[in-house]
Amino acid sequence: MRCLSLIVLLLLSLQSCFKEEALIPPHEQGDLEVGQAALGSFYENQVYFDLYENQAASSSSIYTWDLSFESSGGGWIIRLNSAKFMLAGNSYDTVFTSDLLLEDLEMIFDKSDGNPDSTALGNWFETSEDSAWSNRYVYLVDRGSDQEGSSLGQKKVRFEMQGEYFRMRYANADNSADTTVLIIRDPSIDRIYYSFDEGMVDIAPLPGQWSLLFTRYTTMLVTDEGEDYPYLVAGVLLNPNEVLAARDTIHDFMDITADNITGLEFTTRADVIGYEWKYYDFDMGVYTIVPDMNYVIRDRDGYLYKFRFVDFYNDQGVKGFPTFEFVRL
C-alpha cells in the first residue's frame, strides 16, 4: 500500500511539469525487464520501441525515406531524414529552374532536439495570426549517403500549400525528372513519410504505440579546439507525443523509486537520452556503457519507468544491438 500511495503523491507533485490530464490508476511496481533494439552492425535500421509491451512496434531501414511532413497537428513542419546525414540549403530564389550549386549554399541539418524552430526547411513558409503561406523559395536537398558512404545525390525542391495539404515540386539538379505531388494529411498519424524514389512510405507505428526511437541521427559535436561540426551518432529519441524523460546520475539504478525522483528535470527534448550513454574505448576497440547513467521516462500513457543501458552488443558480439533494463515505477 505504501508503494501505491507514493505513486499518487509523485504524480501530484509532478503536475507542474506535465500537461494536465487524468491520473493513471494506482498500481504495483513492475518487475525488472530486459529489452533490445536491433539497429544492425551498420546502424542501418530504425526501431520504434514500446516500453509497455517491451517489444519493437516496428522496424525499417533508415534508407526508406527522405522527408517527413507534419500530419495530425495542422502545422507545416517538414523534416529531413537525419539518419542519412541529409542537409538542405535555401537558395532564396523562386525560379524553380535556376541553377543551384551545393558549394554556393549554406547547407544545414535538422537539430536533434526536435525543436520545430531548428529544422533545415523551417523557414519555407511564413505565418500571421490566422494564416500561413509559402515563400516559394527553392531548396537544394542533399539526400545524404548510403551504407557504403556513397552520395545519394541532390534534389531541387519547392514546397507550397494547397488548402490544408502540402504540395511539393522536386527535380534533379539538372531539372530532369520534374515531379509534383500532393501530400494529404492523415489525422491518425503524427508524420507522413516520403521517399523521392518510392513516394509515400509507411514507416512509423501509430503515435500511441511506441515510446522510444532507436536510430542513427545527425547531431552537433565539438572538436578539441572548440569548433562545432555535424556528426552521425547512434542513439535514442523520444516519441514527441507526450513522452518525457530525465537523466539521473545520482542514484544507483536499483535504488530509484517513485519517492526519490521528484527533483529530476523532465523534458520533451527529443535527444535527452541521446547517445552519450556509451563511449568508444580505443584501447579495447569496443563500445562501453557509461556506468551510473540512468533515466526516468514518463511514457505516453502516464506510467513512469526507470531505465538504463547494459550493453551495445548482442549475444554474438555484434555491435548495434543496444540492450537495456527498465522497471515500471
Which pLDDT belongs to residue 9? 40
Q: Quick one: 251 and 274 in the same domain? A: yes
Which pLDDT belongs to residue 74? 85
pTM above 0.85, yes or no: yes
Which pLDDT belongs to residue 25? 66
Cα 147 off chain centre by: 20
φ and ψ of 231, to 5 deg? -150, 150
Q: Quick one: 219 and 294 in the same domain? A: yes
Q: Quick one: 129 and 182 in the same domain? A: yes
d(CA 132, CA 125): 7
Number of structural domains the chain divides into? 2
Q: Quick one: 161 and 245 in the same domain? A: no
Q: What is the DSSP letter of 130?
A: S
Which pLDDT belongs to residue 24? 66
Cα 141 off chain centre by: 19
| H/E run at residue 167 | strand 165-172
Helix (H, G, I), strand (E, B) or coil at 319: strand
The residue segments making up the domain with residue 242 are 2-61+207-328
Cell 523559395 found at: 137
d(CA 89, CA 86): 11
Cα 244 off chain centre by: 13
Q: How do the pLDDT tens digits run along the chain, 329 residues long?
A: 434 443 434 444 444 444 444 456 666 777 899 999 999 999 999 999 999 999 999 999 999 999 999 999 889 999 999 999 999 999 999 999 999 999 999 999 999 999 988 999 988 999 888 888 999 999 999 999 998 889 999 999 999 999 999 999 999 999 999 999 999 999 999 999 999 999 999 999 999 999 999 999 999 888 777 777 889 999 999 999 889 999 998 999 999 998 888 889 999 999 999 999 999 999 999 999 999 999 999 999 899 999 999 999 999 999 999 999 999 99
Q: Please choose, from the candidates 18, 26, 48, the residue with its C-alpha nearest in 3D space to the C-alpha of residue 329.
A: 26
At CB < 8 A and 24+ separation, what contacts does 181-186 make? 183/69, 185/69, 185/71, 185/72, 185/74, 186/71, 186/72
Query: Which of 158, 180, 201 delimits the end of a domain?
Result: 201
- The amino acid occupying position 27 is H
Cell of 212: 522510444
Q: Quick one: 107 and 220 in the same domain? A: no
Q: Are 86 and 144 in contact (CB under 8 A)?
A: yes
d(CA 219, CA 203): 22
Q: Quick one: 81 and 51 in the same domain? A: no
d(CA 329, CA 5): 12
Query: Which of 168, 201, 234 delimits the end of a domain?
Result: 201
Which pLDDT belongs to residue 317? 96
Query: Which of 145, 171, 201 delimits the end of a domain?
Result: 201
φ and ψ of 272, to 5 deg? -60, -35
Q: Quick one: 39 and 151 in the same domain? A: no
Helix (H, G, I), strand (E, B) or coil at 9: helix
